[in-house]
Chains A and B, each alone.
Chain A
Amino acid sequence: MIARLLAFIGRSVLSGLAGAGKVTLFAIEAVSHLVRPPFYGREFLSALLQIGWLSLPVVGLTAIFTGAALALQIYAGGARFSAESVVPSIVAIGMTRELGPVLGGLMVAARVASSIAAEIGTMKVTEQIDALVTLSTDPLKYLVAPRLLAAVISVPLLVGVGDVIGVMGGWLVGVERLNFNSATYIRNTWQYLETWDVMSGILKGAAFGFIVALMGCYYGMNSGRGAQGVGRATKTAVVAASILILAANYVLTEVFFSK
């Protein structure tokens, strides 16, 4: 009984480590293609459009509702200490440091990791990946590297836009519902916000973008057969990307802000 339990633990740890190793090797090889020609500019631009531009509505809507709810909560919490005036600065700090990158990253994981995994998985199942190889094109260079680069560039930009929209959501609620003076709200937002608050969130965005594209590509390239295989790859990519984003967020927050 105990032996079986130990064997189970051992097997799980081994397969977990093997999986982590495979993902790491995959990532290293894919990144190495970014510095070795040929480069596929067209694929990069199309990935930039797919991952960045087309995610704007989702990230923007997430940010505006989050900022709005945040303002209400902080107002209610602040009222307990007669500190309602902290709403503008706490909303700004909360959005830029934490909620902008994390919720933005999670929404991008849902939208982009799934679509990348499903697209590449389907290409694998329909032999399009094999066809690429027979046409002298490395799938890692042609499919994976452009998506990784596009995500690392566009997700921080999305986070930046999300920050602005989130703060705007807080301002909207502050002015319309909580009777803040508009000019005072904006002044308080600026006054206590530091550059590092924004920069740290944007750096997190770059890391989350890398995670999203890497998980989408990895599970797509390793998709099983048939519709079921692609479905499983898509699901796993989204789950893995989301968990890794939350874990990476904790680690990065420790690195950036722990005393």
Chain B
Amino acid sequence: MIEIHGLTKSFGPKHVLRGIDLSVVRGESLVVIGGSGTGKSVLLKCILGLNAPDGGSIVIDGKPATGHAGASEREEFLSKFGMLFQGAALFDSLTVWQNVAFRLLRGANRKPRAEARAIALEKLKRVGLGPDVADLYPAELSGGMQKRVGLARAIAADPQVIFFDEPTTGLDPIMAGVINELIRSIVTEMGATAITITHDMTSVRAIADKVAMLHDGVLRWQGPVAEIDTTDDPYIQQFIHGRAEGPIEALR
């Protein structure tokens, strides 16, 4: 489904990604872990084309992810994806249901307003929100509810690939657990491919089929989630146990 080879990306003198090789098969849930500032978000943004990679290749469904000829081709490419942003990134000038139905109300496959609203309400219900929040503005919601709305927006157009950027950051442990469970069940029932980036180990265990650890611009380790406790890789061990001492420098 997603094949990445030798991906590099620098910002000025800072080499953020220094040769990433990664493959994710259809329906698999990959979680990328790594400390803050290790380039996890940049990796996602390169796949989506929000950042242009410096080198390497990204192939999705057999087609290269960059260099689209026209706007419609790019739109078709992007319509495969849904993304839940770290701060939810809801449009604060639009109501909750208009946020969820954003893609349905615009673009080539536009739906009538009433139908788009019905789909939005259904997706809101799927993430545990009632119709009473549909006409509120994002600023009127709690952080956890905003995350749910962001999740509903990400899945509104039934994407094949869903990205989750630190889905539990800033939430209390119970709310984080709820969001983790939602992500897991939604990804399973939609049969979607998922890539999550996080440094929350509870999330990793709840969401992942496969784990990859990003450190210093390369993938230090990747394997099935069951192996993270048994591997003797010192980087993984330091990370999952949150030790200050180890190969990963504490000062970054």
Contact = CB atoms under 8 A, between A and B. Distances in A.
B83 A136 contact: no
Nearest to A128: B89
B79 A127 contact: no
B45 interface: yes
Contact of A131 (B49, B74, B89, B106): B89
Contact of B106 (A38, A130, A134): A38
Contacts of B107: 38, 136-137
Most chain-B Cβ atoms within 10 A of its Cβ — which of A38, A127, A134, A137? A134
B22 to A, nearest CB: 20
Contacts of A134: 48, 50, 78, 81-83
A130 B91 contact: no
B103 A131 contact: no
B38 interface: no
A225 B48 CA distance: 21
Interface in A107-138: 123, 126-128, 130-138
A123 B89 CA distance: 8
Contacts of A36: 71
Contact of A135 (B45, B49, B103): B103
A133 B89 contact: no
A190 interface: no
Interface in B85-136: 85-87, 89-93, 102-103, 106-107
A135 B102 contact: yes
B54 interface: no
Contacts of B158: none
A46 B82 CA distance: 27
Nearest to A40: B106
Interface in A36-64: 36, 38, 40, 46
A49 to B, nearest CB: 12
Nearest to A137: B106
A131 B85 contact: yes
Instruction: Kindly state the interface size class of chain B when it binds its partner.
Output: 20 to 34
Contacts of A138: 71
Contacts of B93: 46
Contacts of A130: 45, 50, 85, 89
B233 interface: no
B75 interface: yes
A133 B91 contact: no
Nearest to A141: B71
Contact of A126 (B71, B74, B81, B89): B89
A126 B79 CA distance: 22
Interface string A137-165: 11000000000000000000000000000
Given A135-B102, A137-B106, A126 B83 contact: no
A135 B48 CA distance: 11
Interface string A84-113: 000000000000000000000000000000
Contacts of B106: 38, 40, 135-137
A126 B50 contact: no
A134 B89 CA distance: 11
Interface in B27-81: 45, 48-50, 71, 74-75, 78-79, 81
A132 B83 CA distance: 11
B79 A131 contact: no
Interface string B153-175: 10000000000000000000000
Nearest to A127: B89
A127 B90 CA distance: 9
B48 A136 contact: no
B75 A128 contact: no
B231 to A, nearest CB: 33
Nearest to A42: B105
Contacts of B90: 128, 131
Nearest to A133: B50
A132 B75 CA distance: 11
B107 to A, nearest CB: 5
Contacts of A128: 89-92
A123 B90 CA distance: 9
B38 to A, nearest CB: 18
B128 to A, nearest CB: 21
Contact of A136 (B45, B79, B85): B79
5 contacts: A38-B106, A128-B89, A134-B81, A135-B102, A136-B74
Given A133-B49, A134-B83, 6 more contacts: A127-B87, A128-B90, A131-B85, A134-B78, A135-B103, A137-B106
Instruction: Report the 3 A-B pairs with minimum CB-CB distance, sorted nearest first.
Output: A131-B89, A127-B89, A136-B75
Interface of B: 45, 48-50, 71, 74-75, 78-79, 81-83, 85-87, 89-93, 102-103, 106-107, 153
